[in-house]
Structure 1
Amino acid sequence: MNRYAKDFPILDQEVNGNPLVYLDSSATSQKPIQVIEAVESYYKEINSNVHRGVHTLGSKATDAYEGAREKVRRFIHADSTREIVFTRGTTTALNLVASSYARSKLTEGDEILISPSEHHSNLIPWQQAAKATGAALKYFDLEPDGTLNLEKAKVAITKQTKVVAIAQVSNVLGTVFPIKELAEVVHAQGGVIVVDGAQSAPHMKVDVRDLDCDFFAFSAHKMMGPTGIGVLYGKESLLEAMEPIEFGGEMIDTVDLYESNWKELPWKFEGGTPIIAGAVGLGAAIDYLEAVGMEEVDAHDRRLAAYALERLDELEGVTIYGPRENRTGLVTFNIDTVHPHDVATVLDADGIAVRAGHHCCQPLMRWLDVTATARASFYLYNDEADVDRLVQGLQKTKEYFGNVFR
C-alpha cells in the first residue's frame, strides 16, 4: 500500500474475501479522512444556514462556506471569487451555461461545436440548446487514436462557431485536449469555449487564466471531495450578463409583488440553501491535494497509466482505446469475446473495482465501434501493485472464459 492510501479509510477492507483494489476513481474518487472529518466537524460544531442569520453559528458557517469558495478560486487560479459559482456538480454547471448563456445568445445560423468523445453531460445540454435556438450542433473529427488535430480544428471553427464545448480530458480515452490552443482559435473567431474539467481538475494543475477558457466546470466528488457539489467558473463579464435559471431564496436582492431583482455575483446563481457541508468538504479536499502538489498528482497518475499500458500489452486479445502518449491516469480496454460486464464481474470477485459500460458516452462507443468497454482509473492512493492485481485478474478472466467457450 502506498503512503497516501492510509488516509483513505474505505480502502482498509476486504471485498469478496480479497483486499479491495479500487480502480474506479474516474466515476468517483475515495475520500481521505481529512475530508470526512471536515464534513463531520461542520455538522457537529457549526451547522447553520449561511448569509442570513447574525448569530454566531450562522457567521461561522458563512465564513466556512465562503472560505471554501476562496480555496476554489486559488486552486484554479481565477481572478475573483465572483467568478466561482457553487453548483450540484459538473452536469448542473454545464446545464447552467447551456441554458442561461447559450440560449440567450444563439440564433439560427449560429453553430455549437463539440467532440464525439463528450460525456453526456457536455453533449445533451448542447443538443437542447440547439433545438431551442435553431443553432446547428456540429462535431470535431477525432483522429483514430482519439486525439484532436489542431490544424483540422482550426478549419472547423469559423465565424459561425459561437460556442465550443469540450472536455479537457476524456473520461474514456484519457486524451488531454489542447484547451489553451483551442481557446485562442475560438476567441479569434468571436466565440466562447466551455470546458468540462471533471476529469482534469482532480488530476492536473488547472489555471483558467492561462487556459483563457470562458467557462470551466468540475465536481468535488471526483477530486476526493463530497458528492453533490461542483463548481462553475465563468469570466466575470459573461456571468454578469447571464440570468439565473433557479429562483427563490438566497439569490434575491429585493422582491416585490410583481418584480424582483437579484443579488450580485456569484450568489445570484445559488438559489436556496446551498450545499454548505459539501463546500466545506471540497475545501478540505483542495487542502489535501495542494499539500501533495498537483504536479505530483499529475506525474503519479500518468506514471501508473503508462505502467498499466505496458502490463496490459502483455496480454493477448486485449484492445486498448485512446492515445499512447499524453494521457491521464486511466486505461479503457476490451477483451476479445468477453463482455465488459463479465470482465468487471470476475474482477469484482477478486476485490477489484473497475467500471464497465458506455461510461455516459454512447456516441463515443459507436465511434469506437463497440457497445461497451471496461475502464480502470487510478488516483493518488493507487500504485503499481494495484495494476499488477488488475492484470492478474484479467488473466484469470481470459482463462475462465477461454475454458467456457472451448
Structure 2
Amino acid sequence: MHRWARRLWTTAGATACGVVLSLLATAVPTQAASPAVPTTARTRATAAVDAMMGFYDQETGRWQPESPWWQSGNALQALLDYMAKTGSRKYMSEVKNTIAVQRAPLEWWPQGGGEFRADSTDDTGWWALAMTRMYDLTRDQKYLDIAELDEAYMRDYWDDTCGGGIWWDIPAKSYKNAISIELYIKLAASLHNRIPGDKVYLAHALEAWQWFKDSGMINGDHLVNDGLNTQSGGCANNGGTTWTYNQGVVLGGLAELYKATGDKSLLTDARDIADAVIASPSLTQNGILTEPCQAVGDCNSDQAAFKGIFARNLGELDALLTGHPYRSYLRAQASSAYTTSRNSSHQYGLSWAGPFDQATIGRQESAVSLLTSVL
C-alpha cells in the first residue's frame, strides 16, 4: 500500500480507537486519586510506560498496530530511553520481539529488504536511532550493524538537487524536507560517537548539517519550517508548519555532533532554535509546549506524537549545557501534563495544558518521552 494511503487508513483506525478509549476515559476522573498515585519523577514515568505497554500487540510487535508504522519505532525509542535512564529491563522481551518481527521486509515495501528500510527516509530514521539506543543498552553489535545499514540506505537518497539533501519520499523523490535530514544528521553523528576511529559518519553528519543550515529551512525566527518547495520544482523554504518535532530532532543531532567535535558553535545554533520555540507564541502558550494544530483542533495521529520528540531532544541538549538552562522548562511541561492531561489509568491526552481528551499511542509515547526527559 502506498504510504499516503497507509497514513489515511492508519489515521482513521487510530481515530476510531481513540473515540472508544475516550468514551472509556470519561468514566473515570481526569486525575488519579488512588493511594498509589506516583509522587516522584521516576514513578510517574514508570506509570506512563506501563500505560504505554497497554497499547502493545505481541503478534505484530507494534503499539496500537493500526497507527502509523513509524510511531512504533518512536514508541520503541521512548521505551529504550526510559530503560537507559532508569536501568529497568522489565520490558526487554517485548523490545526484542518488536525488533525481531519488524526487521523483516515490510509488507508495503518489500523492495527495502527489511532492517527497517522503508518507502520514506524518515520512517527508516526513527527505527535506526532506536537501534543505536538498543546498542547502548546491550552492546550487541548486531543493533549497530542495522543502524549502519539504515544510514547507508538513507544516504542512497542524497543527491545534488538543491545542492544536496535527502529525499523524503523514496518512490516519487518529490520532497526534500526537514525531518529526514535532521534524523540523518543525528543518526550519522550517533554512529560516529559509537564507532572508534570513524571518520566517514562524522563527515556525512557535518556535510548534512551544513547543507541543512544553508538550505533556508531554518527561517529568520530561528524556527524550522517543514521543508523546501521541491514539489513545485523549487529549492526555497516552503513556509510549511513549524511542527515541534522539526524543532526537536535537530537539537539532538547538534548535541551528538557537539559530542563528536567539541565545536561550541553547534550548541549556539541549537540554543537559538530551542529559545525560539520557548519564545514563540504559537509553540509555547502560557509556558506550555503546544503543537500548531492544537489551536484549530485538527491534529492527526502523527502530530499527536511530535511534542514528546521535542522534549526528548531538548533534554539531550540540556544535558550538555552548563547550568541545564532548559530543565525548568521541561519540568514545567511534565508537571502540567501530569496534573491536567492524565486520566486515572495514567494515559495522557494531546494538550499538556489539559484536559485529557483521548488515549492513543501517539499521545502516550509523547508523554513517556516528556516524563523521561526530566529523570
What TM bracket, shorter-length normalisation?
under 0.3
Q: Which has the higher contact order (CA 8 A, sep 6+)?
A: 1
Query: Quick check: which one's strand share is greater?
Result: 1
What is the TM-score when the length of structure 2 is the normalising length? 0.26
Query: Quick check: which one's helix share is greater?
Result: 2
What is the TM-score when the length of structure 1 is the normalising length? 0.25
The structure that has the greater radius of gyration is 1
